């Protein structure tokens, strides 16, 4: 029997159950809605909550959910998880997706942090601005044009707007990859790709250089400012799981274009 692909959700705080629910729904789509029905023969999934280093070690991919990034970092440090998370992302290069607070955790730099700053996992060569849109009372939903959600079989057709939920959301305020001087870890890294932009009035995505960057990818790391897990729209979870399957199938723990 083929070993299942194990996908974990970091369960320190935040939208853990919501992600697990959508992952299970997404898995059904991935396993039954392929252009070739036999393409995923032998593929299966296991979804687990991750609170310890041994649980993380079981995972082939990981989601860091929305919540409160400072709290997550403090709890992760107390549980001895920060260094294993960094190894998972930066050394093993396993697929990782961060939503909202998860995006903050996966950034190399963060601004507007609480006094004293906060520890980050890193992996995305970006600086994020926390709480770009104000308090929780100022939360909103906006339709985003996300080109990566186009179906592979008819990629010329535009995907329907994704109704993105923004709650005290961060945004990517700067891509810093080109300015890295480390000469080591950064050498040969994949570029940061802008996958989603919130254009302000009207709530639709613009183009690169217009509006706020709210979805990015760099190699094995994917981040969104918003909360797909708080909707019934399973498309981003399906898209991401397909990248995880591709990485596992080819032994390449790097996300590829849809």
Residues assigned a catalytic role: 100, 227, 229
Annotated binding residue at 69?
Answer: yes
Annotated binding residue at 139?
Answer: no
SS3 154: helix
Annotated binding residue at 5?
Answer: no
Annotated binding residue at 18?
Answer: no
Measured between alpha carbons, how far is 2 from 13 in angstroms, rounded to an integer? 32
Annotated binding residue at 211?
Answer: no
Q: How far is CA 17 from the centre of its chain?
A: 16
Measured between alpha carbons, how far is 180 from 159 in angstroms, rounded to an integer? 35
Angle between helices 16-32 and 235-250 (to 10 degrees): 70
Contacts of 240 (CB under 8 A, 6+ apart): 26, 95, 97, 222, 255
Annotated binding residue at 163?
Answer: no
Annotated binding site for L-glutamine: 67-69, 130, 167-168
């Amino acid at each position: 029997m083929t070993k299942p692909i194990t996908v974990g959700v970091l369960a320190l705080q935040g939208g853990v159950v919501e992600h697990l629910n959508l992952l299970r729904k997404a898995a059904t789509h991935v396993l039954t809605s392929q252009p070739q029905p036999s393409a995923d023969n032998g593929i299966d999934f296991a979804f687990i909550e991750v609170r310890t280093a041994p649980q993380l070690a079981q995972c082939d991919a990981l989601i860091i959910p929305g919540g409160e990034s400072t709290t997550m970092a403090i709890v992760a440090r107390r549980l001895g998880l920060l260094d294993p998370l960094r190894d998972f992302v930066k050394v093993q290069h396993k697929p990782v997706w961060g939503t909202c607070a998860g995006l903050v955790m996966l950034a190399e730099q963060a601004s507007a942090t609480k006094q004293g700053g906060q520890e980050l996992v890193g992996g995305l060569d970006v600086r994020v601005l926390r709480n770009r849109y104000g308090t929780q009372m100022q939360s909103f939903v906006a339709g985003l044009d996300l080109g990566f959600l186009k179906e592979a079989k008819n990629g010329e057709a535009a995907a329907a707007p994704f109704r993105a939920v923004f709650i005290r959301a961060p945004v990517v305020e700067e891509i810093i990859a080109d300015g890295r001087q480390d000469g080591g870890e950064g050498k040969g890294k994949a570029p940061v790709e802008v996958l989603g932009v919130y254009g302000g009035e009207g709530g639709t995505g613009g183009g690169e250089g217009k509006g706020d960057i709210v979805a990015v990818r760099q190699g094995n790391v994917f981040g969104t400012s918003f909360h797909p897990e708080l909707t019934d729209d399973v498309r981003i979870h399906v898209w991401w799981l397909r990248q995880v399957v591709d990485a596992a199938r080819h032994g390449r723990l790097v996300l590829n274009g849809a």
